[in-house]
Structure 1
Amino acid sequence: MAVHNIFRVKALFKNLFLALVLPLLIIILWQIASDRGLIKPSIFASPETITVSFDQMVEKGSYFKHVTASLGRVIYGYIIGSMLGLVLGSLAVLFKTFGKMVDPLIGILRPIPAIACIPFFILWLGIGEASKIGVIVIGAFWPVLLNTMQGIRSADPKLLELAKAFGKTRKIMLCKIILPSAVPAIFTGLRLGISGAWTCVVAAEMIAASAGVGYLISYGRELAQPGTLFVGIISIAIIGLIIDILVIKIQKKTLYWVDQED
């Protein structure tokens, strides 16, 4: 058992090393190019400048204010959007009449990017929190809706026919066959939905906000502070990666039988 744990730790460190090699190499080359004047510091801030800007924002307490503002909007909008996607997606497949009514509407509205709705929400709801959350709801809604519909439709028809032959009720078939088979696709939708929500909050904050990671990027651009701008961009990447890792961890814990089958 101890030997097995040692091998797991070694594999973990090896994977971590391989994951960090390329980013560290890029940062080193980036700093060297900045020091030698190959990159204009007024346009492309060096890693050292970005680090200084980050330290200053942390000392002032403004950095965590922006991050928590964005995360709060994302969580609120994501919960609303994903719940709507789950409910409407399930109803659209389980009730054919409702599905026939909804399908044309999905076909019309789906191609419209969530970011394109920002001006409409600002006109409708103002520049407050409601307009930003509305955009996030749309960003989370479509991936969850479409993957929920696909997951429920992918239930094995042979199992459904067998359940009917044994006289199982619709409720039992839903709980024992349809929903369990749809869970992997639903989790895929939830994962895509949180990514969409994070993208939408940044876009909304860049247009109309007084706090948030998107506002940080816009602020750095307007005041010609590339260090501040890059702090915002890097924060988007790191926070997005952390969110994605957490969702994958939850997915693996919830769908443990899928890993066992693989």
Structure 2
Amino acid sequence: MMRSITNDKRRDSWMKKYGIQVLAAAFWIAVWQLASMWLGQEILLASPVSVIKKLGELIVTYDFWKSVGFSFGRIVLGFLLALVTGCILAVVAYRFSFAAVLFGPLITVIKSTPVASFIILCLIWIPSRNLSVFISFLMVLPVVYTNILQGIRQTDRKLLEMADVFGVGMGKRICYIYISQILPYLLTACTLGLGLCWKAGVAAEVIGVPSGSIGEKLYHAKVYLNTPDLFAWTIVIIVISFLFEKCFLAGLRAVVGRIEKH
């Protein structure tokens, strides 16, 4: 009986939480529809109906999935490379103070330079097909490095002293002290980095226009003033980014939880 009441409360809480979000989304879609009707020109603002119709036409084509796979693979690769590299550099910077001083100006330059400048400069050296990998990597690296280094520095000193007293090895320190202490910073870095990598990666594709990418589709939609296409591909980017972020963070939490248990 008690379990049934608890389950009912959880279900009501879940319905209330997501019901409000659905209503908020429906409100803004209605505003979008009214604005489109008021303008009366699809070329300026496509209606939700025309965008959904166009999206339905795109989803059933092989070219759509080919473009999604092309961009997804390269942008995610850039993110993962930045995640691994940022963690390694943060550990090195924590371990050796001169490394932190050495990395400081580089990280500052990367954070301060506009994405468009990097894209145009990198086009000189990197083929347009691989540009989104490097740009995604470059934009995410400072976020991961800064957050992980801060997390390591904020590790509870009392726990480390206790580990010294009991002679705890480095492997167990990493599993039971550092990972649990750094996890909030890592999750923050990944959340920010995933949003940045998609924005920067697609921007690189729009400027570099590699064949068979989402950026190429956006570029062509802009050139031919095909507003429904432009909105449809934008929705695709948002959905893919959102789903990957949720799946990746859930997987990261599961992996960290398993490591801590062992």
- TM-score (norm. length: structure 2): 0.85
Q: 1:115 to 1:146 in 2, by over 3 A?
A: farther
Contact 1:155–1:178 (Cα < 8 Å) also in 2: yes
Contact 1:214–1:232 (Cα < 8 Å) also in 2: no
Q: 1:24 aligns with which of 23, 26, 35?
A: 26
Give per-residue Cα distances to partners, 1:17-51, cap 9 Å, x unaligned.
Answer: 1111122122234324434x434221111112112
CA distance in 2, matches of 1:121, 1:169: 44
Contact 2:43–2:227 (Cα < 8 Å) also in 1: yes
Contact 2:39–2:45 (Cα < 8 Å) also in 1: no
Q: How does 1:91-240 map to 2 (within 5 A)?
A: 91-129=92-130, 131-165=131-165, 173-208=173-208, 209-240=210-241
Give per-residue Cα distances to partners, 1:153-173, cap 9 Å, x unaligned.
Answer: 001223334444555566665
Give per-residue Cα distances to partners, 1:191-229, cap 9 Å, x unaligned.
Answer: 222222111111011112223333222211111110000
One-letter code of the match for 1:23?
A: A
One-letter code of the match for 2:39?
A: L
Contact 1:82–1:144 (Cα < 8 Å) also in 2: yes
Q: Give the deviation of 1:124 after TM superposition.
A: 0.4
| CA RMSD in angstroms, aligned pairs only | 2.5
One-letter code of the match for 1:207?
A: I
Q: Give the deviation of 1:151 after TM superposition.
A: 0.6
Contact 1:74–1:201 (Cα < 8 Å) also in 2: yes
CA distance in 2, matches of 1:243, 1:190: 11
One-letter code of the match for 1:43?
A: L
CA distance in 2, matches of 1:147, 1:95: 17
Q: Give the deviation of 1:61 after TM superposition.
A: 3.0
Contact 1:115–1:135 (Cα < 8 Å) also in 2: no
CA distance in 1, matches of 2:97, 2:175: 18
Ranges in structure 2 where 5+ consecutive residues have no aligned partner = none
CA distance in 2, matches of 1:215, 1:85: 30
Find the counterpart in structure 1 of residue 9 from structure 2.
7
CA distance in 2, matches of 1:190, 1:33: 35
Find the counterpart in structure 2 of residue 78 from structure 1.
79
Q: Give the deviation of 1:103 after TM superposition.
A: 2.6
Q: Give the deviation of 1:71 after TM superposition.
A: 1.0
Q: Give the deviation of 1:232 after TM superposition.
A: 1.5
Contact 1:220–1:229 (Cα < 8 Å) also in 2: yes
Q: Which region of structure 1 is more displaced relative to structure 2, 208-217 or 220-229? A: 208-217
CA distance in 1, matches of 2:138, 2:217: 23
Q: Give the deviation of 1:67 after TM superposition.
A: 1.8
Q: Which region of structure 1 is more displaced relative to structure 2, 148-157 or 190-199? A: 190-199
CA distance in 2, matches of 1:182, 1:120: 34
Ranges in structure 1 where 5+ consecutive residues have no aligned partner = 258-262
Find the counterpart in structure 1 of residue 46 from structure 2.
45
